Amino acid sequence: MKQALLITLKDDVIISETSATTGGHHSLDYIPGNLLMGAVAAKLYQENRDDAWSLFHSGQVRFHNGYIVSTEGEPALPSPLCLHYYKGEKPESNDPLVGGAIVRRGIDDTKPDRQLKQLGAAYITASGKQVAVKKTASIKTAIDSNTGRAAEGQLFGYEALSAGQRFLTFIECDESVAEALQSQLLEAVEGSLRLGRSRSAQYGRVKIKRLQQVDNTPETTQVAGATELTIWCLADLALIDTDTLQPTLTPRPEHFGLAGGELDLAKSHIRSRAYSVYNSYRRAFDQRREVIKQGSIIHFKNLQPVTAEQQQQLQQPHGSFIDGGLGIVVANAKLCTSVPLQFASPYTLALPVENAETIEKSDLIKWLELHSKEPVSAHTQKWLDEMLDDISRQYHMARQFNAISPEQSVGPSASQWGVVYQTARDLRNDPKTLHTTLFVAEKAICRERAGSEYSWGLLVNPDDTFSQWLKKELTPGGKPPAADDMDFCTKVALLAAEMRKPRGQYISTAQEHG
């Protein structure tokens, strides 16, 4: 079974290129198969322990890499590194490649007085169209857990795949995998998933849909009986040296089940990279991988004639980590061997029509509506308005009492109110625990601490800090709410949500209470 899947990015998706924690952050321009495998394993591993080995470790199930699909619906593949152009005549990124403008070093005749440069296009379609993957970059800052404010010297950046793009991938199962397991696997992967880093923030949301009758395998020339082979790596290739049992970046015919022959470096174009895959379940990195990069061209010469059995073997994944999408190759693709250069007819997917997304109500709004006679009752709204007026008065009195200059904002920051808001959402059905977490616990969110003299520790009168005053206002005398007092949770959530908005921040500035 080989099932095609279309991945549509609903949010930006962060997929780190390396595990390095210093220097600029770079994202991969494709969706690795092991990322998809990890998302499925998170759903199925615990409930299918007896079949976990077959599904995720044996190589009987393979999650291919997801590569970009053009806006016209043409699936693209990693561009072969043998494609070059003459300096000064680089094809425009949106122009289709034509034989006259593209030269394959080691295959086509070249002009000795002209300098060749590698094309460098990351992905091309069967018809010769270059497809660029769109990325976006953003700068973030870490939050100090003690103050709730931006931490000093902890600025970092993310590069991510831009939302709205589509990627084509495959899940492939051997015949030994039971049909019931295959169905369970496809049900787990289809629909909405979150992939990549920072999935709990604004990143990672994707939608996955099955496609029928999709085959984007490149067209090939004769393989059986050939004594020379050109192998195009459609994914990274992790090979093991048969003598030392260590990773190797020098491919040999026996790695692909071929007999005799040798590597022809003059017609090969090989790049490599090293990286470690992060395992979120173990919260640690897997072993370091030394791989030949996707797009590399490996040419063997002086082979014993390729048999039909060897040709069949060439169509299987090779090397290590094949369950996560590595080791996919194609032998003697026309794009890499035909003279003159030939491109295939356009192959376009029948893409599903994406309807405009309906903006769903947040969990908080649904919960508020569930616990109110109307979406937000007039009574609750009146309480909120009065509470905001009271906070404004307390801030005003605190400025006078503490002789605080107009330039200094007072009260908890927007990010501190954001922490209160998130806590109220998480504990929306447990008012007693919410009260303890905010005001009573040893590390209560609203506690006074060193450096909080302008926030939770702000003296609003001779006897109370702002934290103590707020505690008394939310519950009579500051006592814990009853176990069924859901109104307490509602008030905390509404107040925190409003205080982190511009209206709340206006109150924190040196404005006179009206």
User: Which tens digit of pLDDT belongs to each residue from 409-438?
Assistant: 889 988 889 899 999 988 988 999 999 999
In this predicted structure, the answer to whether residue 508 has a pLDDT above a threshold of 70 is yes
List phi, psi (to 5°) of 503.
-60, -45
Please tell me the predicted confidence (pLDDT) of residue 373.
44
Please tell me the predicted confidence (pLDDT) of residue 268.
93
User: Which residue intervals of the chain bear CATH 2.60.40.4350?
Assistant: 80-110+217-343
Domain 80-110+217-343 has CATH 3.40.920.10: no
- Range from 99-113, 199-213, 365-379 carrying the lowest mean pLDDT: 365-379
In this predicted structure, the answer to whether residue 369 has a pLDDT above a threshold of 50 is yes
In this predicted structure, the answer to whether residue 277 has a pLDDT above a threshold of 90 is no
Task: Concatenate the DSSP letters of all residues of 330-368 into one string.
Answer: EESBHHHH-SS---PPP----PPP-PPPP-PPPHHHHHH
b/e code 342-381 from CB counts within 10 Å (16+ = b): ebeeeeebebeeeeeeeeeeeebeebbeeeeeeeeeeebe
Residue 464 carries which side chain, given as an amino acid letter?
D
What percent of the residues of the chain are helix, what percent strand, and what percent coil, each to the nearest 5? Answer: 25, 25, 50
CA 278 centroid distance within chain: 13
User: Which residue intervals of the chain bear CATH 3.30.70?
Assistant: 2-78+121-211
Q: Is 345 left (phi over 0), alpha (psi -120 to 50) or beta?
A: beta
Is residue 228 classed exposed, middle or buried when 0-12, 13-18 and 19+ CB atoms within 10 A define those classes?
Answer: middle
b/e code 189-227 from CB counts within 10 Å (16+ = b): beeebbbbbbbeeebbbbbbeebeebebebbbeebeebe
CA distances from 109 to 112, 263, 475 (A): 9, 21, 85
Adjacent-strand bridge partners of 140: 156
| pLDDT 10s digits, 82-105 | 988 888 888 776 667 776 678 888
Contacts of 432 (CB under 8 A, 6+ apart): 480, 481, 482, 483
Q: Are 172 and 39 in contact (CB under 8 A)?
A: no
Contacts of 388 (CB under 8 A, 6+ apart): 495, 498, 499, 503, 504, 507
Mean local confidence (pLDDT), 332-337: 89
- Give the residue among 243, 225, 240 at the shortest CA–CA distance from 287: 240
State percent of the chain over pLDDT 90: 32
Per-residue pLDDT band for 152 (boundaries 50, 70, 90) equals confident
Helix (H) or strand (E) holding 299: strand 297-303
CA distance 414 to 149: 9
More confident residue, 149 or 425: 425
Please tell me the predicted confidence (pLDDT) of residue 513.
45
Contacts of 271 (CB under 8 A, 6+ apart): 81, 292, 293, 295, 296
Q: Mean of the per-residue pLDDT values for the chain?
A: 85
More confident residue, 508 or 478: 508
In this predicted structure, the answer to whether residue 462 has a pLDDT above a threshold of 90 is no
CA distance 70 to 6: 12
More confident residue, 128 or 65: 65
Class of domain 2-78+121-211: alpha beta
| pLDDT 10s digits, 294-320 | 999 999 999 999 999 999 999 999 999
